[in-house]
Structure formats: structure tokens, C-alpha cells
Structure 1
């Protein structure tokens, strides 16, 4: 999962949050005016060039081990493919692997497709896969996906097209993770030779995807060109060239879309929804997503560490009004921080759905109940600080709404805007969190699986367990859910844990935002769901 902490950066724990179509108990009034679709009409032919905006700015790297934000994922997944494919409904299908089998509780066998080649024509081998996966375990590389491999004991080539992964203890989430950047494959020889420059404008890439890296002009654009030797003829790219341009100013981006200077964008500005929907230049699509807006408690002591204060703030904010005002109707309230879209492809979907539906619905504000919680908590101080990244208007609005809610229940909240780098640092450095009680943030889940997110906030010592939350029963159930290879039993243990940690509001989840995709009328084919974040989506874009 990723927690987004700035205009062009994101924090990775292999986690994130969501908005989702058809989630149990969800659906504000705004949903009646917005139709969610998983994809757009199929392309009818090829196009010469597509210009695509990256509103989060220029990626720092396209190396899968260093991919940790919207921009890097949006570009990189079209270059370096994963072992599994992420489908538009957040289910998985075979990718570079024709199959991944859980041989026993501590053994996973990966069978590779025959006939797959890298851009230079060399064949994909088991050694390339072993190398690619093992890179994430190298502490010197400090891969953003290192957590995915925490339970792995060994990764070995057990055949020319077979890789066996052995675990110290079972890990239910590992196989779904192979549909995201943790399962992306690079060529061993090229990567080793490139060294630290791999994935940058100077070091380049060598992967198997439907596009290859053709150029990278720092500060301006990244250019991809079609891989005419792509192994999957059915998914051959329809665009001969894709130009990704860096447009972080929302007004400039909107003007470029309306003028037809830019053909498309994921994450179209919320403030431009009305203008883009009226546009005759193209169409604004809304799709199911795993993105969320939330307030995170980041203090190990003081009011924010008290669940009653977190619950009071949660009850003081009307989530339906939040969706209408901040997200302009393009979202819906959620009951907890693990989004329902994350388990829609699971065979245990019914178990997860029932567990979600049983959680308290706090979409409507209840100020009297909130005030009683504050009185019962009798905090040692009533002055709070909430931090937000400077320049992000949606998160500034979120912090301001939290400030007003706090005032109504007898608390004082000061909004502190931090520069993106400073804001990013507080996610990892406890010293930077001193004097801050809450943060306004967004996040997203990039792969399927309910277990991809919660452990990072709930288990003792986990990177996002900033309040030092601990519950023996929750820990036993979450650890048991990860180790349980039967999907239904795993789901039951997760739901039992969620029933306890969910109401504790370790993250005060305000809403899930729908995916916002704008396409110029000359092109179509892009997935409208948030699945683009881990899929080779650009290959599908062609003539309308």
C-alpha cells in the first residue's frame, strides 16, 4: 500500500485505501449522478501519438524497486510487467507467469511463459525472475517493496521456466502481491550493468512490456515507443508513441485538457470536475478505486493516542457532506481504512462483505455523541495540531474541515502546512512527528488483498502504528489470517480482527475517492478503474 504524502511523492508499505463501486453500506446521494465504469469502450484502431499528463510530477525512478508514487506506477507498469496481471475489477490473471501455485503452506511455485522476450530480443529466464524478486530483499537497495518479502526464506530457479519461493511461515498475501510492482521483472544482465543508475533518465531500463523507454528529458517528458516484438499479440500497443508530460499545476492541466493539447490523465483535478464534464473535447470517466482521504493519528501520547478522541473526531465530521464538498460528489464514505474493492476478487468475498457491513456506519455526524466521548476522555490538553502538505488544496480543505469539527466538540486544532519533503519525512522519523497530533493524507491499495494494508497500522512495531496500538487478540487474528492458506478461514480471522481495530479509528477514514479519467474524444480503451496503477494500461489506448 501507498500513503501519499506530497505532490509528487508517496510512502510505501505495500498498502492503501479506497472508494469502491457497490461496497456494502456505501453510497452518498452524489452516486446517483455519477456512473462508475471499470473501463472505456475498446479502441477501434491505432494512433501515432498519445500525450498523457502526470499531475503528480516527474518520477524519481522507474526501477520497480524504487517505484512508490502515482507517476512512477503510471509510466513504469507499461514498461516492466509483473508475474500476474491486475484486472479492472482488482482480480488477477496470468501475466509473465502462466501460473503461480501454492504447493504447500510454505512453498509457492511460479511457472513462466515460454517465448517471452525482453526488448533486446533475449529470452526471459528463471534467473531473471529470481534476480528481480531477490532485489527486494537486498537491504542495501532498500526496496520500497521489501515488506512483501519479509516472510520469504529463499527464492530459487528450479527449472528453466520455474521459480520456487520458500517461506519461513505461510504468507497469504504474497501471491496477490505479484500483480503489482513487487512482482515486476527486469533483465538481470542489464540491471546489474546499469547499477544505481538503473531506472533513471541516464541508466535506462530493460523489461518485457508492450512499450519500451525511448527517451527521458528531465523536467519535461518521458517518451515510450511501441514494442513491436511484444510477446502477447492480443495486447500489442495501439499507440506508436506515448509522451508523458509533467503538469502539476491543476489550472494549467485543465486548460491543456480542454484545449486538446493533452489527450488524457488519471487523477483529473477534483476542482475541475464540472468543467471537464461539460467539455466537448473529451469525456470524464469515473471508476472504482482504492484511493482514500483520511486523518492519521501520528502521536504515541496525548489526545491523538486516545481512541475516544479519534472516535469523537470521526463522529464530528459528516462524511456525506465531505464527499459533496471536497470530492465534488466523486466518492463515497467508507467504514474503515481497508477498502472493499481490495477483496472483490477473493473467493471469500462474502465473508469480507459481511464483516464490513457489521462495522459502525459513521457517515453522518453525531456531535452529541462526539462531545460525550471528549468529556469521558478528559484529555490533558485540548489543543491539537494537524499537518498537511503545502500546495495540496484537497488535503488543506480536509484539514480545515477537521479543524472546524474539533472546534464544535471542544477541541482546538491548528493547521500546519509543511513542505512536501518535510511532510514525507515525518512518516519515517519520529522526531519530525513531535508536536503533531494528526495528518491529513491520502492513500491507495495497488494490489488485491485485505491483508495488504491493515498489518502496517495495527501490529506492534509496524511502520504506521504511530499511536503504539496493541491488542493481543487483534494481533493473533491478523497474524493467523496472514498464515492461513484457506481463503475463507483467513477472511474470518481478518474480519474478527477488523471488528476490534476498525472502531479504534487508527485512521479516521473520511471517504474513498473515485478514479477520475479524462480522455480526449479521439482516443479510448483505457481502464477507468484504479487498476491502471499496476497494469500495462497504455497498450489498450487507441483510436476512438
Structure 2
């Protein structure tokens, strides 16, 4: 399950957006009126060089199997393409595969596009695709996309341009997953020769994208060079060189954007929204996103493991005020962790929308109801610990707001700041979670599909079921939804499960944040939508 906190794999959450095409007016509660747009004006010509900031720092690897954070995805998706493309409205379209077909409930057939070449000029083969997908099933590799292949039985070459995937049980989420990093394709020959160094500064890459890896100067920048023989001539890169620089300090990044030293960034600093909106050097865009801010319960025992305490904390925090104070108006409250944006392209959209609308709205605080829940729970202790990553001011502010709200309902919260590496370890090492009740975190959903996230929380032993949540009706419905190939019936099963686990607040989802894109006035073309996290977006950036 793809989920992240900055450079750490963490929690995949989604943003609730009702506007999924064109543009939509969002509440003007921040530093100015906010209009959501999916794309920026198309580029009018080529440019020599674009300099782009990575606020999350230098990627550890660009190997798709080891790609699980903002920085690696922002760079890597322009190099190693997926079988399907993720569009700005979070629908999918053909990519390296001209078609992906559900032949029967347990068989998916992938038809590859003819004429695709790797950067060395050799053709993309079905063998390369088989190799790329099967890597995710290798326990020694520990791919970040391993969960996507949990039900896969075989992946075989069944024709010169055809690959067939079979499953032990149906998995309707598999095809949408191919629009993200789980569907990325690499060259088998190059990867085998590079071994463990594949995807690193020393080992390099061999893929099919519109850019090829140029120089990687550790601690400074990663430079991409246009691949002139790219198969999709309509999306040939407009920049000859695309330089990614590592700027993790918000003040330094903002100054670089305002001065024109850096041309653009995704995830522009929230605290700089007002300054960037006033800038004459460029424009700040807001787009639909699946990024969220949440409090995650990580304890199997104690107050946070009790749904009443989680519900009380949820009711104690005013989400509307949170959006104003922390996100500067660039976001909106959410009801649960699976966002409406995830199913906008589904033929069962109306079923999903109705299910979401029926969930309780807790965007406004209700302290009296929260106090009653705490009294009913009668916890053995009222002291809780919230962990945050050191240096992340937005998450520290989130934890501080939760601390103040908890104090109003009889709970005493201590904030524990952890170094980023230690914070990342919380998600994999139960021993590191000892003494911690909740975490303040951000995350994202990288592909469409209502079923991408929920199974990881509701099944016993699932990677994010840290509170040992168990409800037979929920697991039965989610299991049936995953195995059901009729989209309407699958949606009905999902909605039935969500109606039960949603109010239990397995995640206390506070808000979704809009995508924040800043472009220097000399360039345009980048998608404003969060779909950049899974697609070759940089090829579209060119002269304004």
C-alpha cells in the first residue's frame, strides 16, 4: 500500500474533491481566492533548461520497486513509464500498454504498444514487462508495490507484445494500480547487470520515458536529458534538460522561486502561499489532490485503540479551522480516508458518492459529544503521546492543535518529535511504536480506485491495522468488493463496509490539501493536478 510521509513510507490518504474536470471554485479561506484547475496553459515551444525543486530532498533510489515518496516519484515517473497513464482527473488511459483487459475474473491480458524503445534504442519486449512486474513479487527485493501483487499467481509472456497475469482470487484494483509505480517498466538486461546498484547514482537506469537519466550529483541535483526517439511524438519533452535540485528549507525554496533561480515546484510551502500569490515572477496554481493530513492510531492497546477515544478526538478538532490555520485555506475537511477523487472515473460513481455523502460530517467541533465519548470509554489512562517528524512545522502545528483539543475533553497529549529515519521506522517496526499512541502524518493516494486503501486497515494482520480492528461484516464486504468484477456490485459492497469502519475513525482524517504548483512566468504546461505523482509530467513543461 503506497503511503508516505515525505521521504518515509507512511500513510496513503485521499482528498475529497467534487470537481474532477475543468476547474472549480474552492473556499476562499486562505491567502486569497482559490480556484482548482487540473492543468496549466499548454506550452508554446521548447526551452533549453528547466530547474525544478524537490522540497522533500534527494531520492534514495529511482528504481521503481524502491520508489515510495514524493521526490522519487516526482523524478522517476519521467524516466520509467507505467503500463497505463494517470490523467489529471485521476482517470486512466493507455500508456506503454495499448490495452489492459479483464479477460475473466482471474485473468488480465496486457497488450503492449508496438514501436516503443528503451534509451539505448532496443525495443520494449513482453519479456521486459514480465521481468518488471515479477520483480515486485520477490521478497528479497521488498518492493514497495509488493501488496499490489499479493493475489497474483503467474505473470507470463503469451505473445510478442502480450503478457497475461493470473490471480488466485479476483482483484479489481489491479488494473488501476498499473497506472502508478506498480506498473512501471524497466529493461531486464540493464537491471540484471546493474544488480543492487540499479536506480542509484552509480548504477543508473534504462527505461522508455521522455527523459533519460543524465548526471546525478549527490547532494546537489539530478539532471535529465530529453530522449529524442521517444515513442509518443505528441508528448516529446519540450525541455532539452530538466534539472532537479534538492531544497528542503521552506524559506530558501521560497526565495529561489521568487528570484527565478528555480523555475517550479510541486508542494510549494504552505506558509509561503500569500507571498507566492503576490509574486510577479510566476504563478501559484491549486489543483485536485489526494494528499491529506491525519492522526493515525498506532497502538493495539490503550486509549487510541478504543474507537470511542478516536471518535472523541475527531469531534474535538474543528476541521474547518484546521484548514484555515494549517493549510491556509488550500484544502478542505474530509469524512474518511478514501477520497471521492478515487472513484470519479468509475461507472459506479453515483453509488460511491451516495455512500460518502451518508457518512457523518464532523468538520465542526462538538466538544460536549466528545466529552461524553471519553466518559463512556472510561480509559485506563488519559495520557497520550503523538509522534511527529522533527523539522516538519505543519505536522508539529497539527499535533499542537490536537493537543489543545484533547485537553478540552479531558485527555492529556504529549508531543514527541522523532528524527525522520526514526519516524519512518514506526510504520514497519512494532517495537518502535512502543509508548506512542498516535502519529501526525501526511500521505497520498497515487492511483484511482476505492479499494486501494481500505484493505490495509480492515483485515487482520494488514500493514496498517495497528489497532487490531476487527469486524466480520466489514472484512466480508471488502473481500467481496475486491473480488467482484461488476463495478456497481463492488461499489455497493465497499459502501456497506465504509458505513461501518468510517465512523470508527481507523484514521482521524483532518483534511485534504490541494496540490500547490508554482511556475515561473517563462514556463507552463505542467499539470496542476496531483496526477504528476504517477505520470511523465515534465515532458509537458515548455515555453510560456
TM-score bracket, normalised by the shorter chain, equals: over 0.9
**1:300 positional shift:** 0.4
RMSD (Å) for aligned C-alpha atoms: 1.2
Partners of 2:451 and 2:134 in 1: CA distance: 22
Partner of 1:464: 464
Query: Which among 8, 13, 16 is matched to residue 16 of structure 1?
Result: 13
2:538 is aligned to 538
1:150-165 mapped onto 2 (5 Å cutoff)? 150-165=150-165
Task: Name the counterpart of 1:262.
Answer: 262
Shift of 1:323: 0.1
> Could you tell me whether the CA contact under 8 Å between 1:2 and 1:16 is conserved in 2?
no
Separation in 2 of the partners of 1:266 and 1:127?
35
1:106-149 deviation digits (Å, cap 9, x = unpaired)? 00000001100000000000000000000000011110000000
Residue 128 (1) aligns with residue 99 (2): no
Q: Is the 8 A contact 2:9 2:427 kept in 1?
A: no
How far off is 1:83 after superposition? Answer: 0.2
Query: Displacement of 1:19 after TM fit?
Result: 4.5
User: Which position in structure 1 is the counterpart of 2:196?
Assistant: 196
C-alpha distance in structure 1 between counterparts of 2:211 and 2:531, whole Å: 18
Deviations 1:192-228 (A, max 9, x none): 0000000000000000000000110000000000000
CA distance in 1: counterparts of 2:26 and 2:247, whole angstroms: 32
1:434 equivalent to 2:431? Answer: no
What is the rounded CA distance, in whole Å, between the counterparts of 1:120 and 1:209 in structure 2? Answer: 12
Match of 2:284 in 1: 284
Aligned to 2:29: 30
Equivalent residues of 1:294, 1:508 under 8 A apart? yes
Matches within 5 A, 1:292-371: 292-371=292-371
State the partner residue of 2:65: 65
> Within 2, Cα distance between the matches of 1:28 and 1:336?
20
Output one character per residue of 1:486-529: Cα deviation in whole Å (capped at 9) or x when no partner: 11111110000000000000100000000000000000000000
1:492 aligned to 2:500? no
CA contact (8 A) 1:238 1:540 kept: yes
Indicate the residue corresponding to 1:205 in structure 2: 205
**Quick one: distance in 2 between partners of 1:19 and 1:322?**
16
- 1:403-438 C-alpha deviation (Å, 9 max, x unpaired): 000000011000000111111111111111111111
Q: Is the counterpart of residue 391 in structure 1 residue 370 in structure 2?
A: no
The equivalences for 1:85-100 within 5 A come to 85-100=85-100
| Separation (CA, whole Å) in 2 of partners of 1:21 and 1:354 | 12
> What are the within-5 Å matches in structure 2 for residues 165-244 of structure 1?
165-244=165-244
* Secondary structure of 2:37's aligned partner: coil
Tell whether 2:117 aligns with 1:117: yes
Q: Tell me how far apart the structure 1 counterparts of residues 394 and 244 of structure 2 sit (CA, whole Å).
A: 24
Contact 2:10 2:441 (C-alpha < 8 Å) held by counterparts: no
Deviations 1:274-306 (A, max 9, x none): 000000000000000000000001110111011
For the 8 Å contact 1:265–1:517, the answer to whether it is kept is yes
List alignment gaps of at least 5 residues for structure 1.
none
Tell me which stretches of 4 or more aligned residues in structure 1 moved more than 6 Å.
Answer: none
Shift of 1:163: 0.2
CA distance in 1, matches of 2:54, 2:506: 31
State how far apart, in whole Å, the 1-side matches of 2:514 and 2:2 are: 16
* CA–CA separation in structure 2 for the residues paired with 1:293 and 1:11: 12
Q: Note the alpha carbon deviations across 1:147-203, whole angstroms, 9 max, x for none.
A: 000000000000000000000000010000000000000001001000000000000
State which drifts further: 255-264 or 31-40. 31-40
Change (3 A) 1:474 1:28: farther
Q: CA deviation at 1:10?
A: 2.8
Distance apart, 1:30 and its partner CA: 2.5
Indicate whether 1:149 and 2:146 are aligned.
no
- Once the two structures are TM-superposed, the CA of residue 21 in structure 1 deviates from its matched residue by 4.6
2:277 is equivalent to residue 273 of structure 1: no
With normalisation by structure 1, the TM-score equals 0.98
SS of equivalent to 1:134: helix
Match of 1:503 in 2: 503
Partner SS state of residue 17, structure 1 = coil
How much has 1:8 moved relative to structure 2? 2.9
Distance 1:429 1:123 in 2: 42
**Is contact 1:3-1:441 (8 Å) kept?**
no
Gaps of 5+ in 2: none
Q: Find the residue that maps to 1:396 and give its secondary structure.
A: helix
How far apart, in 2, do the equivalents of 1:211 and 1:324 lie?
A: 39
| Residue aligning to 2:529 | 529
SS in 2 for 1:231: coil
**What do residues 446-476 of structure 1 show as CA deviations (whole Å, max 9, x unaligned)?**
0010100111111111011010000000000
The answer to whether the 8 Å contact 2:26/2:34 transfers is no
Contact 2:26–2:35 (8 Å) recurs in 1: no
Match of 2:54 in 1: 54
Counterpart Cα distance in 2 of 1:400 and 1:38: 33
